[in-house]
Structure 1
Amino acid sequence: MVFHLFGLRALEVWLYSRLIRSPIFHQMVGRVHRRVEQIRHGIPPEESRTKLEGSGSLDKFVRYFKEEIQDQMKGKPRNKL
């Protein structure tokens, strides 16, 4: 009987460690936490800052980055703000 409980405990520890190391689990917990905070504090859902809206955004970034590198190579970085 004792060995049977030991086997179940070992299985529980193994499953727990797999769950904790899973990135999908952490994403799910993050979504639940964000939703609970929105409900508790009435904060509107924020837009994801990591998504690129269409392929045009990437093209604009690459063009801007290229201009900045060229300006710095010339020794005259410009203030674009």
Structure 2
Amino acid sequence: MSLIAKVVTMMWFKVEDALVAKVLQMPGFHHGVRKIHRTVEEFRHGRDPNEPLREGEATEDPNLQKPQVQTFVKFFVDEIRNQARGTPTDIDNQPLPPKK
């Protein structure tokens, strides 16, 4: 490796270290990581019964699935059926799902 390549590599590592340090200082980054961690833990182990209810949970119907999940599951099952039949869905001719 030439001297110039080593210098460029060292500079890149310094830039990368500075960017990582800046991101780790941001409260929004930590908030997002906490939210993802909480979602994964609830999925794996269930809800902590000692944790207070979050906003909107007291009035939410627990038996009602979220519409995005139902739409995705329906689309996924239809796509698997089409693939098994040997007629995959042509994405270019499909209408886009409604956005909220």
Q: Which has the higher contact order (CA 8 A, sep 6+)?
A: 1
Relative to its length, the structure with more helix (as a share) is 1
TM-score class normalised by the smaller sequence = 0.5 to 0.7
**Structure 1: gaps spanning 5 or more residues:** 49-81
**Structure 2: gaps spanning 5 or more residues:** 56-100
1:37 aligns with 2:41: yes
Identical aligned pairs, as a percentage?
27
Structure 1 runs, 4 residues or longer, greater than 6 Å off: none
Q: So what's the TM-score if we normalise by structure 2?
A: 0.44
Taking only aligned residues, the RMSD between alpha carbons, in angstroms, comes to: 1.8
1:10 aligns with 2:14: yes
Q: So what's the TM-score if we normalise by structure 1?
A: 0.54
Q: Distance in 2 between matches of 1:47 and 1:22?
A: 24
Of the two, which has the highest radius of gyration? Answer: 1
Q: How many residues are treated as equivalent by the alignment?
A: 48
